[in-house]
Structure 1
């Protein structure tokens, strides 16, 4: 119970980090020194590396499970990105929650969950539909239909690959831009995804993201 309450402390361990190992070491050391050791020192010796590693592994598991629980309570696979962001849990910084939503909707994250490749086009379609399956607007409907048509005319493998010629790139066209990459949230930049020498690429950010 005690470690579980600490793992759910969103100020100590922000939900915006994509994984436990991405949380800065200083955050973990601060919790160990100023919270856990202070409370438990009368009962346990947690100064040894073995006990510290055990505590950190337990926090890792509880932090991951808590994130999963928050996500599955809100994601019914029909809600759009904006709808999910609007459902930020009480006590969690809204910007941190938005980063977490983008991480969960990231195609690479979905591939891990599904066990197969998910294209950027799949992500855009899934996150721009209402619960009844209808697109948010005529504009997103037109874009979604073009993406679906591309999938029918391309091999399943090619259409799922993230590239400058995938479904989003073909629908939105190429342009020179230094922003982020569509469908991959706020993290990856085009140079990282498409190569450090990429100058012209497709599917950069817009209001439809």
Structure 2
């Protein structure tokens, strides 16, 4: 919710504040539904030297950031502890759901379809993809020939 509020304030400021306008013009150019005195307070806050310095420092710090951390305020250790799936049940694969068992996913015939219809469908799809690949190769060869001439 805090992130949404911050983004809303930034969006309103970017959309309705015009740096070339006077204070009065900016007050008249306020967003619909925002009280004139609230908008004045917000513009005054944004114009303070302390606020501008804070924005400048934050921009510098963000530019130094090499990795994006999206895990929130929890430490990695705490996240790992909370994300453990629990003791694995015999015959089932953890985090895959109630349906498949280990033998269905990783058994000796796990890569082979169970029935003839699935096998035929898989072979048909394979042939389609091979034909599509050949077509793409021909197109690429034609483009390379055209570019070389």
Question: Which protein has the larger Cα radius of gyration, Structure 1 or Structure 2?
Answer: 2
Which structure is higher in RCO with an 8 Å CA cutoff and minimum separation 6?
Answer: 1
TM-score by length of structure 2 reads 0.35
